[in-house]
Amino acid sequence: MIAVAPDTDAGAKTAARGEVITRPAVVAWLRAFAAVVARDRELLTELDAAIGDADHGINMDRGMQAVLVKLDELGEPADGSVGALLKAVGMTLVSSVGGAAGPLYGTLFLQMGSAAGQASELTLAEWASAVAAGVAGAQARGQAELQDKTMIDALLPAVAALRAGAASGLSLAAALGRSAEAARQGMKATVPLVARKGRASYLGQRSAGHQDPGATSSWLLLETAAISLSAGTVP
């Protein structure tokens, strides 16, 4: 007979069911991302100053500060769904962030929320599917392909790593870590590229030699996911 943990012990319940991403873990991820964006606001703005209009750090920080306010409003409902949370984040970003980042990140979270549905916690495979849906939404919205020197260059490799991790039975922490590393490599690979989408594409060849700001904020999103989302689960 399996020992059943007391109902009040959320951590033990999680352990008994295996590894899942809970709504509180997603909230912790969003709060961590907001903190990292605030910390790296100048870096993101400097990257955008080189090949864009120098507003990416300002825009992302404004958006994530608005998300923090929204998270406080939403609180921690006992039966809150991950999907509803992610959709609220997407709506907040769409309505509070200017430039391309608002619609693109907003669409990412909205589509991710639709895919996550009503569940209050997701397995790695379910999480990978939700992230894939979000990235597909952002890609469709921006009409960007790999090597266009955009956020997609960090996000698509991260999705592939998440899916591969889920398919091969990696632990949550290992799969999230590999997706963050794939995003980092994708971000680094934007440096020599000539931009084919967004404001940077107006620069033509002069856009080469600079790291894409959108790919950089996307790497930060995946890096904070790797740190935040496996907390509270069994390694």
Instruction: Tell me the three state secondary structure of residue 187.
Output: helix
- Of 150 and 228, the one with the shorter C-beta distance to Mg ion is 150
Quick one: which of 12, 13, 28, 53 contacts Mg ion (CB under 5 A)? 53
Query: Is residue 130 within 8 Å of 148, Cβ to Cβ?
Result: no
* Token pair of 4 as six digits: 């059943």
Task: Name the one range near Mg ion by CB under 5 A: 22-30, 54-62, 139-147, 177-185.
Answer: 54-62
Quick one: which of 19, 40, 55, 126 contacts Mg ion (CB under 5 A)? 55
Chain residue whose CB lies nearest Mg ion: 52
| Angle (deg, nearest 10), helices 41-51 and 213-228 | 150
Positions in 160-199 near Mg ion (CB under 5 A): none
- Of 131 and 195, the one with the shorter C-beta distance to Mg ion is 195
Query: Between the CA of residue 224 and those of 9, 34, 37, 147, 188, what are the distances in Å?
Result: 26, 10, 10, 24, 17
The count of residues interacting with Mg ion (CB under 5 A) is: 6
Give Rg (Cα) of the chain.
18
To Mg ion, the closest distance from the beta carbon of 52 in angstroms equals 4
Quick one: which of 33, 52, 60, 166 contacts Mg ion (CB under 5 A)? 52
Q: Give the whole-angstrom CA distance, residue 179 versus residue 228.
A: 13
Task: Name the one range near Mg ion by CB under 5 A: 8-16, 53-61, 184-192, 214-222.
Answer: 53-61
Residues in contact with 70: Cβ distance below 8 Å, sequence separation at least 6, in sequence order = 88, 89, 92
Positions in 30-49 near Mg ion (CB under 5 A): 48
CA angle 151, 156, 160 (to 5 degrees): 155
Query: Is residue 198 within 8 Å of 214, Cβ to Cβ?
Result: yes
Query: What is the number of residues in the chain?
Result: 235
- Of 58 and 161, the one with the shorter C-beta distance to Mg ion is 58
To Mg ion, the closest distance from the beta carbon of 7 in angstroms equals 49
Check binding of 61 to Mg ion (CB under 5 A).
no
Positions in 144-163 near Mg ion (CB under 5 A): none
Q: Give the whole-angstrom CA distance, residue 198 versus residue 208.
A: 14
* Strands (DSSP E) found in the chain: 21-22, 121-122
Task: Name the one range near Mg ion by CB under 5 A: 65-73, 99-107, 120-128, 221-229.
Answer: 99-107
Task: Name the one range near Mg ion by CB under 5 A: 6-14, 61-69, 97-105, 222-230.
Answer: 97-105
The site for Mg ion (CB under 5 A) is made up of 48, 52-53, 55-56, 99
